[in-house]
Chain A
Amino acid sequence: MLNKIVEWWQFIKTISKRDSSNVLFAPDYDPVTSRMASWASSWRIPGVSLYRGNEANHSQALTLLKQKHRSTLLFMFLGHGRTAGLLTKPGIGKADSPVGCKTHHCLLDTDDLTTGAKDVHIVAWACSVGRYFGPKVATLKSSGFLGFSGEVGFVINDIRSEQLWSSVMKELFQHVAQRGYIESHDAEWLRLKLLELRRKLKRGEVNTGIFNQANTTFLKLAARKAYVEVSRTK
């Protein structure tokens, strides 16, 4: 009897491991995404598969979204975003989406959410996605969105500032990846993290030199725009 229970337990563990997938998409095609993609490569978050550069394409994202044999998809994204969707490199995105333009193509838009997908949790460190795309993610069954409801900014090409932003982004993705899904208090968690870092900068515990003012302003801006929406249907 005990053997049976152990067998069942092992089986359930195997199934749940195979079924859930945590992925991080980091397109790499302009100075900003190139910096962010290199940070993402250096993180090596346990249990998270990285799709960098050309791997961060529309067809790959859609395949993951439509995948039948999974329980929860934690789709994390680091790059450019717009109100109605996530963006990627021109040529590997969805060409006919109204979200794209000459310099960015669409990685995912709300049209992609209507494929019967469920159990989708999207975390996006990208501008404005929380204004329209995010709430639409949360209309799917057992799903959630964590991101920003407006434009955000940060400093690049300065070692100390990049360390600061890379560390806070890594902390966010690690925090959500450990759990595998988004909860309604995650925006508050992120807000507090950003403001704590901002306080450290103000007190001089963290120093980014001449960029201190820019970084405190950007941290505050991101804290103001942190946004979460979790589906009410299970």
Chain B
Amino acid sequence: MSTAAKQTLDNGATITINKEQILAKFRRALLIDDDIEYGDSVRRNLETIGFETTVVGSLDAGAQELSSGEYPIVLCDNIFEDRPKRKGSEFLRDETELLGTSKAILMTGFALQQIVDLDLLKMRDVKILKKGEGHIDKLKDMCQEIVEDRAKKYEKKMRGLCEALVERVDDETEFDDLINDPYLVARAKTYLINYMKKFPSQELEQFFIAERAYSPKELVEEIRKGTKVSRLLIDSLLDDILEGSDAQ
């Protein structure tokens, strides 16, 4: 059964949005728990409702994972056997920047008193799940609910962007992030590819970006593929060009 929805605009143009594709985009979770067997069981259970779950065993590993990938849902244990000095609740309280737009679920097998700043976490919409009989089913429901809610908001935003693009109303794009403007991104891509082709030595590694060195030729490939490095370059280039030379 197709879940694609069509909408016809006033000027006759149509927008097709595939709801299943949007839902699939958000069915990703990061589980931070030092109990490997439990982590594996959660991963397999969430798989049954279409989720792809990454399991890591420490808060440091969780921070690392959050910085390198986007996770719509973060599941975090509260007490870590090998790291009693920091709790999952403290992690969720402090790492707001790393968590970004992820929705967090704090999972605890202990009393709620063990949770640091419970009220603050609730205010930030962190959901609390008590581990116990039937909690995996509850977790599945919570994850489904979060994904459906996010997908609905995303669809609304996409529809807004599509309408603005189709009707060519430039100033109606609501994205404040430059990298989301497809026109500018395409221009920056072409500019960067042409720039890279100018270098006399195409094979020599000359650009250090995020952990490794690239040759101009390799960067052209990265830009064409639209990888993370390419996004970083495009965003920086647009920021550099669009702001005045003296701007901070």
Contacts and interface: CB of A to CB of B under 8 A. Distances in A.
B212 interface: yes
Contacts of B207: 153, 155-156, 214
B97 A131 contact: yes
A80 B213 CA distance: 11
Contact of B211 (A80, A99, A213, A214): A80
Contacts of A155: 206-208
Contact of A97 (B60, B98, B206, B245): B60
Contacts of B211: 80, 82, 104, 127, 151
Contacts of A153: 207-210, 232
Contacts of B63: 83-84, 131-132
A127 B248 CA distance: 20
A224 B207 CA distance: 19
Nearest to A157: B206
A211 B196 CA distance: 10
Nearest to B211: A80
Interface stretch (A50-58, A69-77, A107-115, A166-174): A107-115
A83 B95 CA distance: 12
Contact of A32 (B199, B204, B212): B212
B206 A156 contact: yes
A31 B213 contact: yes
B240 A156 contact: no
A199 interface: yes
Contacts of A114: 85
Contact of A156 (B61, B97, B205): B205
Interface string A203-223: 000000011011011101101
B205 A157 contact: yes
Contact of B248 (A85, A151, A154, A195): A195
B60 A199 contact: no
A110 B32 CA distance: 16
Interface residues on B, range: 35 or more
Contact of A83 (B64, B83, B85): B64
B184 to A, nearest CB: 15
B239 interface: yes
Interface string B62-78: 01101110000000000
Interface residues on A, range: 35 or more
A210 B198 contact: yes
Given A97-B60, A202-B245, A32 B213 contact: yes
B102 interface: no
B188 to A, nearest CB: 11
B58 interface: yes
A167 B97 CA distance: 32
A32 B56 contact: no
Contacts of B204: 157
A155 B207 CA distance: 5
Given A85-B60, A213-B195, 4 more contacts: A30-B213, A114-B85, A151-B210, A221-B239
27 contacts: A31-B205, A31-B213, A32-B208, A83-B64, A83-B68, A84-B63, A84-B64, A84-B67, A98-B60, A111-B83, A127-B210, A127-B211, A128-B210, A132-B67, A132-B98, A154-B208, A155-B206, A155-B207, A156-B213, A157-B205, A202-B245, A214-B207, A217-B237, A220-B236, A220-B239, A220-B243, A221-B239
Interface of A: 30-32, 80, 82-85, 97-99, 104, 109-111, 114, 127-128, 131-132, 135, 151-158, 191, 195, 198-199, 202, 210-211, 213-214, 216-218, 220-221, 223-224
A-B pairs, top 8 by smallest CB distance, nearest first, are A98-B61, A83-B67, A151-B210, A153-B209, A132-B63, A84-B60, A221-B236, A217-B240
